[in-house]
Amino acid sequence: MKKVLIVGASSCLGSNLARYLREHYSVYGTWAFHPIRVEEVRGFRMILNDKAPIEGFVDLIKPDAIVYCAAVTDLATCEKDPKLATFVNAHAAAQFANVAARLGARFIYLSSSKVFSGKDGDYSESDIPSPVEHYGQSKLRGEEMVGRFPNAFILRLGTVFALGGLNQRAFLSDLLRRLWKQTPTRIVNDEYRSFVPMEDLSRVVGHLIDAEPSEQRLFHLGSPEKLTHYEFALKVCQIFELNKDCLEPLEGLRFHAPHAVRQPDLHLISNHLDATFFLKPQLAEAGLRTLHAELLNGQQ
> How many CA atoms lie less than 13 Å away from 193 in the CB half-sphere?
24
Tally of CB atoms within 10 A around 134:
20
Q: pLDDT of 96-105, one tens digit each? A: 999 999 999 9
Residue 68: pLDDT over 60: yes
The rounded distance, in Å, linking the Cα atoms of 237 and 135 is 31
pLDDT classification of 300: cutoffs 50, 70, 90: low
**Model pLDDT, residue 262:** 87
pLDDT, tens digit, 9 for 90 and up, residues 17-53: 999 999 999 999 999 988 998 999 999 999 999 899 9
- Name the percent of the chain lying above pLDDT 70: 97
State residue 261's pLDDT score.
Answer: 82
What pLDDT band is residue 225 in, cutting at 50, 70 and 90? very high
Q: Which pLDDT does position 214 carry in this prediction? A: 80
Find out whether 143 and 149 touch, Cβ atoms under 8 Å: no
Q: Is the pLDDT of residue 111 over 60?
A: yes
Q: What is the pLDDT of residue 165?
A: 60
Chain segment 149-196, per-residue pLDDT in tens: 999 999 999 999 998 765 556 889 999 999 999 999 999 999 999 999
CB 148 within 8 A of CB 98: no
In the chain, the percentage of residues whose pLDDT exceeds 90 is: 83
For the cut 90, the answer to whether the pLDDT of residue 106 exceeds it is yes
Give yes or no for a contact between 196 and 159, defined as CB atoms under 8 angstroms apart: yes
Mutual angle of helices 229-240 and 171-181, in 10-degree steps? 60
d(CA 67, CA 208): 10
243 CB neighbour count, 10 Å cutoff: 10
Mean of the per-residue pLDDT values of the chain: 93
pLDDT at 231 over 80: yes
CB count within 10 Å of CB 117 equals 20
Q: What's the pLDDT band for 299 if we cut at 50, 70, 90?
A: low
Q: Please give the pLDDT value at position 163.
A: 85
